[in-house]
Structure 1
């Protein structure tokens, strides 16, 4: 096994095919998502690409860690997943060839900890790889003269904290990797993250309705009769680049108007957020990973859903509604129509992603726990920083519990 880190996205593009193969249809892990995210957010101060790849004995990639490194004033050098921050990517994780999970986790952990133990990555212990694989991935030649051209490294960069967020609790690969880091005496903080909410879909819409409570089923049938079956509400779905341009305009308009009506700036107020999505969506459409739908009520757009799709799962990523047409419950109509469409197109799961909004449970979604890891290497200063951070978290939880306990007394 051999490990290298790519520090230039153009250089890493040679891995795109393997990257998507290992992503297993999860859009947030795909090459398209990660590449466009880095193009939009990678030039922020203190950030540098840190995509780590594990190669097998034949010189072919078996695992990819889609990371970047960022200088943080508190923690120092922090490693995070590509796609974090305001983009709110979910289902993040390490990419790995099936059957190689344990080996990849152990090799990656040992290599990463080697940043603080130079002898762990001594050149004389490295195997020789077939020239064909070396040329195919251009991963080894850049440093044979001992120089660093800023593109590829076969030694790990120093790090002070590894922050893994947006991870589903039952993610086996990440769990194995964290356990391997523990074996190397790294300290690990594990905190619950926000729940994801998912609907296991039935074979037809009527069977799906039977899973809802009696009251919810009655409400759904009433909305279907009054607004959808009557022909007032019609779902439009993007199927071409021409439609995509109109769909993007509708998405930004309805999302921004709704959020601003609630006193919020809206996600698309961020120039980077807007650029990330507008540049990426044509690629997603071409790859069959984009679902952009809007509901027209009597011919006027009143709701929009920006979805991602892959491996039989629909991910409801972003939405917007007309704040002047709340009388027709446009958000509920969009949910019903897109769930029905997902069933008709053979989807297995409808994923509302993170957030505990009540409507998700009302529509039959069940919570899927996530976890957030903060891991520090076996050095004094990072350990002290982690202890102080955990102490602060415990203090905040205690203060909130005390406030909840005393508020009812004060109100009396």
Structure 2
């Protein structure tokens, strides 16, 4: 038998070591489900968004933490006056406000306890006040675990919202073999253009050094303002990433930011972090009008992926989910496709009825109904 207990905000702040021990003994993602990531997210956005912490710990008979249910709650009142108590998985604020994107979301459970922990936490959620739960960017295995753990058997309505795909590259083999398996156009952009540039000037890929290169995020935001008309990270996101980098060591992680210099001028930056053998690509910025023959985004990823292959301690390079500006360019990098789902678990009878009307209506009526109701 497992006991499930709520964890206070003070308890959340003080449980880094216990959290990380539980996470390390699980198959949950070591970056996005880590204490440094989720506590930094909570510290940054909880007050801004008016969130209430709903953090559940599952303990065995010895009092050892064997599972974590990371949730938060917000009370919404729609334009039609419908009061909705909405649970979110910690790290996302679906349709509420933009925050950093937390992927691989789910319940953390020590290996061998997955079904027991999920069932215990779903049972505990039954006794809390909420109308719907938003499960964002949940990997495929966790989707099945959550449904089998109780949501399918409780009479809830589950509404699928979006699917997304990420790409993870296995870097345990030889870089030359991976490079040879790429399509010729991708290989040209990610690697062969190095020769073209070196014929005309000095091309250098190097790790970021704050004492030499100034503030990394200032450079990243400058590239994004020029390309997109807005920074990559706003004030809250900057605060989050600075907090994360300060705490990254607590999840056995380290930053892996890099630059490309061309003729001693910085033309591209890449923001990666490495956690437990996986290098995650979080953000990038570069001169869009650098050279019509060169894609700096591809070129910089080629350098970073090569570095992941060359470093023996790195076993994977994760491009994460999300489309590019014009196409799903990540699929060109010869990696494993990973699938994520976002779905709602609806408990309120009123909301079930409203969503049923919405789903049964013609598209233009459904859109008007959604705007009117505000769901």
Question: TM-score when scaled to structure 2?
Answer: 0.83
216-225 or 199-208, which deviates more = 216-225
- Summarize the alignment of residues 12-411 of structure 1 with structure 2, pairs less than 5 Å apart: 12-24=12-24, 26-74=30-78, 76-85=84-93, 86-113=99-126, 115=127, 156=128, 158-171=129-142, 174-179=143-148, 180-227=150-197, 232-238=202-208, 243-244=209-210, 249-253=215-219, 255-268=220-233, 270-284=234-248, 287-327=252-292, 328-346=294-312, 347-357=314-324, 358-377=328-347, 379-388=348-357, 390-391=359-360, 395=363
Asked if the contact 2:258–2:271 (Cα under 8 Å) also holds between the matched residues in 1, the reply is yes
Paired residue secondary structure (1:203): coil
Deviation at 1:298, TM superposition (A): 2.0
Deviation at 1:209, TM superposition (A): 0.8
Deviation at 1:386, TM superposition (A): 3.6
Partner of residue 371, structure 2: none
In structure 2, relative to structure 1, the CA distance for the partners of 1:58 and 1:230 (3 Å cut) is farther
Asked if the contact 1:247–1:293 (Cα under 8 Å) also holds between the matched residues in 2, the reply is no
Say whether 1:7 aligns with 2:20: no
Larger Rg: 1
Asked if the contact 1:376–1:386 (Cα under 8 Å) also holds between the matched residues in 2, the reply is no
Deviations 1:102-127 (A, max 9, x none): 111111111111x2xxxxxxxxxxxx
Asked if the contact 2:203–2:260 (Cα under 8 Å) also holds between the matched residues in 1, the reply is yes
- Rounded to whole Å, the distance in 2 between the matches of 1:266 and 1:397 is 36
Paired residue secondary structure (2:41): helix
Deviation at 1:342, TM superposition (A): 0.6
13-22 or 42-51, which deviates more = 13-22
In structure 2, relative to structure 1, the CA distance for the partners of 1:159 and 1:367 (3 Å cut) is same
Deviations 1:247-278 (A, max 9, x none): 6723332x33333334432232x211111112
- Rounded to whole Å, the distance in 1 between the matches of 2:133 and 2:278 is 29
- Rounded to whole Å, the distance in 2 between the matches of 1:220 and 1:248 is 27
- In structure 1, the gaps of 5 or more residues are 116-155, 400-412
Asked if the contact 2:73–2:85 (Cα under 8 Å) also holds between the matched residues in 1, the reply is yes
- Rounded to whole Å, the distance in 1 between the matches of 2:131 and 2:210 is 43
Deviation at 1:231, TM superposition (A): 7.6
Partner of residue 407, structure 1: none
Paired residue secondary structure (1:176): helix
Deviation at 1:397, TM superposition (A): 12
- Rounded to whole Å, the distance in 2 between the matches of 1:397 and 1:192 is 20
- Rounded to whole Å, the distance in 2 between the matches of 1:60 and 1:304 is 43
Partner of residue 96, structure 2: none
- Rounded to whole Å, the distance in 2 between the matches of 1:219 and 1:36 is 36
Deviation at 1:167, TM superposition (A): 1.1
Deviation at 1:39, TM superposition (A): 1.0
- In structure 2, the gaps of 5 or more residues are 94-98, 368-375
Deviation at 1:323, TM superposition (A): 3.6
Asked if the contact 2:55–2:70 (Cα under 8 Å) also holds between the matched residues in 1, the reply is yes
- Rounded to whole Å, the distance in 2 between the matches of 1:229 and 1:285 is 41
Paired residue secondary structure (1:90): coil
In structure 2, relative to structure 1, the CA distance for the partners of 1:30 and 1:47 (3 Å cut) is same
- Rounded to whole Å, the distance in 2 between the matches of 1:246 and 1:388 is 60
In structure 2, relative to structure 1, the CA distance for the partners of 1:276 and 1:228 (3 Å cut) is farther
Paired residue secondary structure (2:47): coil
Deviation at 1:335, TM superposition (A): 0.7
Question: TM-score when scaled to structure 1?
Answer: 0.76
Paired residue secondary structure (2:48): coil
- Rounded to whole Å, the distance in 2 between the matches of 1:98 and 1:259 is 41
